[in-house]
Structure 1
Amino acid sequence: MLEELLIALVIYFPAFTANGSAPFVGRGHPIDFNKNFFDGRRIFGDGKTFEGLLVSLTFGTIIGVIIARFWGVSWIFISFVESLAAMLGDMTGAFIKRRLNIPRGGRALGLDQLDFVLGSSLALVLLHVNIELCQFLFIILIAFIMHILTNNVAYRLKIKSVPW
């Protein structure tokens, strides 16, 4: 059982890395080109940038290069797709928050912690990576805890403007 949980951490490490690396970019060019949705609110907001996406994909794929040394070259591609899906999940979370009139940096418990996990999980399933239910639930728990802890640290280091 412990081995399965450790394998889950390795499998999801590209998504965790991608999700955690974007805030280090700072300001950039918004993916939504500063455009509003038909409801008058921004599509994603200033927090989703091309620069953040590029850094996320780069770091997530680098993790795939490391994993590939042990599990095969296909992990480079898997990690790239997983990282992209994690970021699409994160952007979906931002889109939902804007529709709910939650501003950038506003708290949405659950959505803030799990949007990238759901996106990356979908990619892993589509890529036929075997994920057991216990592994998925473990990753959700880890993501929830790590998101809260790392965001608090990032806030204290003045990388983020809010501790969530």
Structure 2
Amino acid sequence: MLKELLLAIVIYLPAFVANGSAPFVKRGHPIDFYRNFIDKRRIFGDGKTFEGLALALTFGTTVGVILSKFLGYDWILISFVESLMAMLGDMTGAFIKRRLNIPRGGRALGLDQLDFVLGSSLALFLLGVRVNVIQFIFIIVIAFVLHTFTNNVAYRLKIKSVPW
């Protein structure tokens, strides 16, 4: 059982690294090009930038390069796609928050912590990487706890403007 849980961490590591690296970009070019949706609110907001996406994909894929030494070279591609889908999940979360009129940095409990996990899980499923229910639930718990902890640390280090 412990082996399965540790394997889950390894499988999701590219997504965790990608999601955790994007906030290191302080300023950049917004992915939504400052455009509004039909509800007159920003599509994603200033927090989702091309530079943040590039950094996330670079770091997440780098994890895949390291994992490929142990799991096979296909993990480079798996890690890239997993990182990309994690970031698309994060952008989907931002899109939903804007529709709910939650400003950038505003709290959306659950959505803030799990959007990237759902995106990366979809990638893993589509790529044929099997994760069982116990592993998935474990990752959700880990993501929630780690997200809460790391965001608090990032806030104290002035990397983030809010502690969530």
Q: Is the pair's TM-score, using the shorter chain for normalization, greater than 0.5?
A: yes
Q: Does the residue aligned with 1:145 lie in a helix, a strand or coil?
A: helix
Q: How far has the Cα of 1:55 moved from its partner?
A: 0.1
The equivalent of 2:54 in structure 1 is 54
RMSD over aligned CA atoms reads 0.2
Please tell me whether residue 156 in structure 1 is matched to residue 145 in structure 2: no
**Equivalent runs, 1:36-115 vs 2, <5 Å:** 36-115=36-115
Q: How far has the Cα of 1:25 moved from its partner?
A: 1.1
Q: Which 4+ stretches in 1 moved above 3 angstroms?
A: none
The equivalent of 1:27 in structure 2 is 27
The equivalent of 2:122 in structure 1 is 122
Gaps of 5+ in 2: none
Find the aligned partners of 1:2 and 1:72 in 2 and give their Cα distance.
Answer: 22
Q: How far has the Cα of 1:130 moved from its partner?
A: 1.0
Q: How many residues align?
A: 164
Gaps of 5+ in 1: none
Find the aligned partners of 2:79 and 2:12 in 1 and give their Cα distance.
Answer: 9
Counterpart amino acid of residue 38 in structure 1: I
Find the aligned partners of 1:63 and 1:6 in 2 and give their Cα distance.
Answer: 16
Q: Does the residue aligned with 1:28 lie in a helix, a strand or coil?
A: coil
Q: How far has the Cα of 1:14 moved from its partner?
A: 0.1
TM-score (norm 2): 1.00
